[in-house]
C-alpha cells in the first residue's frame, strides 16, 4: 500500500475573511449585456439570471465575501431554488509523475497511486470577483483558491439558452513533476436537497437516504451522473463526458460519482458530485498531467431541471445522445483496436466444457450488445495481444485464426459487422494494427527455408512474415492496411517517427496512426493533441497518411463505462458489407481519408476546401486564398472551430469563434482563408466540454 499523507484543511471553499474586513471588489468591466445573461449585485450577493428555455429561467446567487456559504441559491429563478446555502468542494489527490525518458509528459506507463501521494481539500479566500462575457456565456471568477501545491481561482460559467452551469477550479502548480486526480461537487452543513438519486451501472434506480447525509460512498452510475432532488426541481452533477477520464486499459465503471458525508476524509459535511478513481484498473494508472505553470481546469457540470430525477436524467442523456453515436445519412460508424480476446476465451471454454461448438455463456457476448447500443456499425478487433502469439507454430496459429474468422462471421449481421484484426507488435518496431479486406491466414514468424506463401490443404494460402519487407509484401499483396497503434506513447513511444524513412512507411498500404485522448491534461482546449500533432507532422513530412480514432480497450462488459473512453470514425460509405462480401470499400474509405473522427457530441456532417473534401486534391491558387465550408451540429455549447494547415515546415491555425452559437444547434460555416505555400489543410471543431471532431487533410497540388 502507498503511504498516504493527508493534508487536513478547512472545509472546501468556505469563509472568506475575518469579520470586519472590507468586502472584495467585483470587477464588471468584462461583462457584456448582449450575452443574454443578466448580472446584478443585490445585498452583498452577485446574481446571475439567464434564459434556459421558453418560460424557464436559471438563477445563480453567489455571496460576495463573508463567512456564509458561497452559493446562496442555485435554481430556476425567483423563489425556485433547487440548491441553497451550499459550497462547492474540491479534493485534489496529488502524486509524483515519473516522466518518460523518451517522450517526457507523453506518458502512460506510470502509476502515481503506487507512490506517496497527498489529498488536499480546496479553500477559497474569495479575495476578488471578476465577471466576464464570451459570446452567450458569462463567467464569475473568484480569486484565492488553493489546494496543496495548487493555487488559482474558482469559476462558474452559465450559457444563455442552456440549463448548464459549469464549476471549475482553474489552478496551477510550480512543482516540476506532478500528476493529479480530483473530486468535485457541492456540499452543505444542512442539505437543502431532499435526496440524491442515480441510475446505477446495472440500470437500476438508486436513492441515497437521509438527504444523502450518510457516509460518503463512491457510486457507479450511468451517464456519470448523480441528481439532487428538491421541491422546485432537480440538479444533476456530471463531468465532461470524455475529457474528465484519464486513459486506462480497462473501461470498468470505477464509480465516478460520490454521495454522502466525509468524502476523501478531509471534510465531514454531506456532499454529492464527481470523482476520479485513484487506483483505476490497478495496471497502469497515469492520472492527469499537470506540467508546471499549466492552468488545469478541474470542472464539473450541473444541469437545472424542473422535473424529478428520471426526467433530469433524460435531459442529461441528450448531451451525449444517450451515450451513443447517431446515424448520419451517407456515413457508417467504424471503431477499431479492442483486445477483447474473445477467441482465446472461447477456445479455453471449449476445452473446459469439452465441446467443439459454442460454449455455454458465449452465445451472445456482452461486447456485441454494447457495440450495438453504442450505434457502432463496424467494429474491428485487435485480438491475440499476448506474448506467445508471434512465436506460434502453424498449427496452433491457424487454429486460432479459424476460430477468430468464424466468430466474426457468426456475430455479424443485421447491419452490424465484426471484423478480425490484430496488434502483432513484431518486425516493425513499436505496436501496430493489421486490417485485411477478407480473412487472411498468416503466421508471424518465418523460420529459415520457409516460403513467404504456400498453399495448405483445407486452409488455402498461408503467409509467413519474418521481416519488415515480408510485412509490407503481405499487405500489398492482400490489399490490406496497417498502421501504428497508440503512436508516440505506450510501447510506440518512438513510432512512427523511428521508421518514417523505411520502405514500408512509404507504402500506400501503411495508413498512418491513431487518435485517442491520451495522455490526459486538463489545461488543453483539445483532446488527443499527441495524435493531432502526428497527423500534422506526417503531412508536413510530405506523406499522405491518415489518423483514425482508436479505442485501445481490453474487454467490454455491459456494466462498463465504455462511452467515456471512446471515439468514433464516421466513414463515407453507402452501406455496410456483410461478412462474406469483400470489406474493400471500408479499407478504401480509410485509405482515401473520406471520414471524420469525433467524440460523438460534435459532428462535421459536411466539409470541403475549395470544393474538395478530405483526402482529395485541390489546385490552390498561388495567393493561397480559398473558402473552407463545413456543416457542424453539436449538443454542448460550442467553443471554436479551426482550419489547420501546413506548408511542409510549420503548422498554422485560423480559429473561428463559436461562442455566440447556442447549445443543440447546427450551422453552416464559410471561412475565407489565405494559406500561402500550403501543402495540406484540415478542419476541426471543439465544444466547451472539450468534445470535438476533426477531418483528414485535403492535399494541395500546384
> CATH number for the domain including 552?
3.20.20.140
Neighbours of 68 (CB within 10 A): 14
* 507 and 649 fall within a common domain: no
Residues with Cβ within 8 Å of 692's Cβ and at least 6 positions away in sequence, in order, are 526, 527, 598, 599, 602, 684, 685, 686
* Whether residues 371 and 234 fall in one domain: no
Q: Helix or strand or coil: residue 556?
A: coil
Residues of the chain with pLDDT under 70: 1-21, 210-212
What pTM did the predictor assign? 0.96
Q: Tell me how far apart the terminal alpha carbons of the chain are, to the nearest angstrom.
A: 62
Task: Give the pLDDT confidence score for residue 102 in this predicted structure.
Answer: 87
Q: Are 638 and 592 contained in the same domain?
A: no
| 521/108 Cα distance (integer angstroms) | 12
Query: Which residue, 600, 629, 664, sits at the end of a domain?
Result: 600
- Say if residue 580 is in the same domain as residue 617: no
Do 584 and 636 share a domain, yes or no? no
Q: What is the largest CA-CA distance in the chain?
A: 92
CATH number of domain containing 692 = 2.60.40.770
Q: What is the pLDDT of residue 21?
A: 67
Reading the block at residue 352, the C-alpha cell is: 473446459
User: How many Cβ atoms sit within 10 Å of the Cβ of residue 451?
Assistant: 10
Rounded alpha-carbon distances, angstroms, from residue 166 to 107, 228, 283, 634? 29, 16, 32, 18
User: What is the secondary structure of 394-453 as a DSSP string?
Assistant: HHHHHHHHHHHHHHHHHH-BTTBEEE--B----SSSS-EEEE-SS--EEES---TT--SE
Number of domains in the chain: 3
Phi and psi of 377, rounded to 5°? Answer: -90, -40
Instruction: Give the pLDDT of residue 379.
Output: 99
Give the 3-state secondary structure of 91-103.
EEEEEECCCECCC
Do 197 and 259 lie in one domain? The reply is yes
- Is 680 within the bounds of a domain? yes
**pLDDT on residue 247:** 98
Helix H or strand E encompassing 317: helix 309-317
Count the Cβ atoms, other than its own, within 10 Å of residue 414.
Answer: 5
Distance CA 57, CA 82 (A): 13
Out of 576, 600, 624, a domain closes at 600
Give the structural domain span for 447.
Answer: 331-600
Residue 22: what pLDDT? 77
Name residues whose C-beta falls within 8 Å of residue 29's C-beta, 6 or more positions apart in sequence. Answer: none
Q: Is the Cβ–Cβ distance between 640 and 526 less than 8 Å?
A: no
Amino acid at each position: 500500500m502507498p503511504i498516504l499523507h493527508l493534508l487536513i484543511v478547512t472545509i472546501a471553499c468556505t469563509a472568506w475573511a475575518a469579520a470586519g474586513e472590507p468586502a472584495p471588489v467585483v470587477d464588471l468591466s468584462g461583462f457584456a449585456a448582449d450575452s443574454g445573461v443578466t448580472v446584478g449585485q443585490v445585498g452583498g450577493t452577485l446574481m446571475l439570471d439567464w434564459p434556459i428555455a421558453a418560460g424557464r429561467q436559471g438563477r445563480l446567487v453567489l455571496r460576495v465575501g463573508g463567512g456564509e456559504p458561497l452559493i446562496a441559491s442555485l435554481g430556476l429563478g425567483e423563489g425556485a431554488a433547487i440548491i441553497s446555502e451550499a459550497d462547492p468542494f474540491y479534493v485534489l489527490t496529488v502524486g509524483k509523475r515519473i516522466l518518460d525518458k523518451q517522450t517526457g509528459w507523453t506518458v502512460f506507463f506510470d502509476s502515481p497511486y503506487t507512490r506517496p501521494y497527498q489529498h488536499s481539500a480546496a479553500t477559497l479566500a474569495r479575495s476578488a470577483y471578476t465577471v466576464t462575457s464570451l459570446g452567450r456565456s458569462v463567467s464569475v471568477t473568484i480569486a484565492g483558491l488553493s489546494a496543496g501545491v495548487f493555487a488559482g481561482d474558482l469559476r462558474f460559467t452559465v450559457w444563455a439558452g442552456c440549463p448548464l452551469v459549469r464549476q471549475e477550479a482553474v489552478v496551477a502548480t510550480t512543482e516540476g513533476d506532478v500528476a493529479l486526480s480530483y473530486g468535485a461537487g457541492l456540499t452543505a452543513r444542512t442539505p437543502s436537497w431532499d435526496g440524491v438519486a442515480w441510475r446505477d451501472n446495472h440500470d437500476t434506480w438508486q436513492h441515497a437516504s437521509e438527504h444523502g447525509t450518510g457516509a460518503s460512498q463512491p457510486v457507479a452510475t450511468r451517464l456519470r451522473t448523480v441528481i439532487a432532488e428538491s421541491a422546485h426541481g432537480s440538479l444533476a452533477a456530471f463531468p465532461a463526458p470524455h475529457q474528465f477520464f484519464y486513459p486506462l486499459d480497462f473501461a470498468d465503471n470505477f464509480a465516478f460519482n460520490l454521495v454522502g458525508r466525509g468524502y476523501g476524509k478531509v471534510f465531514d459535511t454531506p456532499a454529492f458530485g464527481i470523482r476520479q478513481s485513484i487506483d483505476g484498473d490497478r495496471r497502469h494508472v497515469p492520472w492527469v498531467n499537470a506540467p508546471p505553470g499549466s492552468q488545469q481546469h478541474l470542472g464539473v457540470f450541473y444541469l437545472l431541471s424542473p422535473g424529478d430525477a428520471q426526467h433530469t436524467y433524460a435531459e442529461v442523456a441528450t448531451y451525449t445522445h444517450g451515450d451513443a453515436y447517431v446515424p448520419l445519412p451517407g456515413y457508417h460508424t467504424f471503431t477499431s483496436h479492442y483486445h477483447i480476446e474473445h477467441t482465446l476465451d472461447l477456445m479455453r471454454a471449449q476445452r473446459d466444457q469439452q465441446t467443439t461448438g459454442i460454449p455455454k455463456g458465449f452465445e451472445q457476448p456482452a461486447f456485441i450488445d454494447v457495440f450495438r447500443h453504442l450505434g457502432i456499425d463496424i467494429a474491428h478487433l485487435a485480438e491475440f495481444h499476448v506474448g506467445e502469439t508471434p512465436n506460434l507454430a502453424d498449427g496452433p496459429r491457424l487454429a486460432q485464426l479459424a476460430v477468430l474468422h468464424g466468430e466474426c462471421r457468426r456475430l455479424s449481421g443485421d447491419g452490424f459487422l465484426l471484423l478480425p484484426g490484430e496488434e502483432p507488435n513484431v518486425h516493425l518496431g513499436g505496436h501496430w494494427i493489421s486490417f485485411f479486406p477478407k480473412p487472411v491466414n498468416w503466421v508471424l514468424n518465418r523460420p529459415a527455408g520457409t516460403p513467404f506463401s504456400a498453399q495448405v490443404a483445407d486452409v488455402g494460402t498461408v503467409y509467413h512474415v519474418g521481416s519488415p519487407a515480408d510485412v509490407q509484401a503481405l499487405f500489398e499483396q492482400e490489399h490490406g492496411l496497417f498502421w501504428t497503434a497508440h503512436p508516440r506513447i505506450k510501447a510506440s513511444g518512438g513510432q512512427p517517427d523511428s521508421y518514417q524513412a523505411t520502405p514500408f512507411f512509404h507504402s500506400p498500404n501503411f495508413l498512418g496512426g491513431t487518435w485517442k485522448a491520451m495522455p490526459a491534461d486538463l489545461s488543453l482546449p483539445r483532446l488527443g493533441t499527441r495524435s493531432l500533432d502526428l497527423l500534422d507532422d506526417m503531412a508536413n513530412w510530405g506523406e499522405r497518411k491518415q489518423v483514425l480514432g482508436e479505442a485501445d480497450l481490453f474487454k467490454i462488459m455491459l456494466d462498463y463505462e465504455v462511452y467515456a473512453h471512446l471515439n468514433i470514425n464516421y466513414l463515407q460509405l453507402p452501406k455496410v458489407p456483410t461478412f462474406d462480401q469483400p470489406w474493400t470499400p471500408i479499407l478504401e474509405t480509410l485509405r482515401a481519408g473520406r471520414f471524420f473522427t469525433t467524440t460523438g457530441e460534435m459532428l462535421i456532417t459536411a466539409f470541403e476546401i475549395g470544393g474538395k473534401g478530405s483526402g482529395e486534391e485541390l489546385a490552390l491558387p498561388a495567393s493561397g486564398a480559398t473558402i473552407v465550408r463545413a456543416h457542424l451540429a453539436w449538443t454542448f455549447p460550442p467553443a471554436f472551430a479551426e482550419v489547420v494547415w501546413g506548408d511542409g515546415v510549420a503548422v498554422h491555425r485560423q480559429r473561428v469563434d463559436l461562442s455566440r452559437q447556442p447549445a443543440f444547434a447546427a450551422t453552416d460555416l464559410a471561412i475565407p482563408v489565405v494559406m500561402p505555400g500550403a501543402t495540406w489543410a484540415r478542419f476541426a471543431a471543439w465544444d466547451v466540454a472539450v468534445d470535438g471532431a476533426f477531418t483528414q487533410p485535403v492535399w494541395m497540388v500546384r
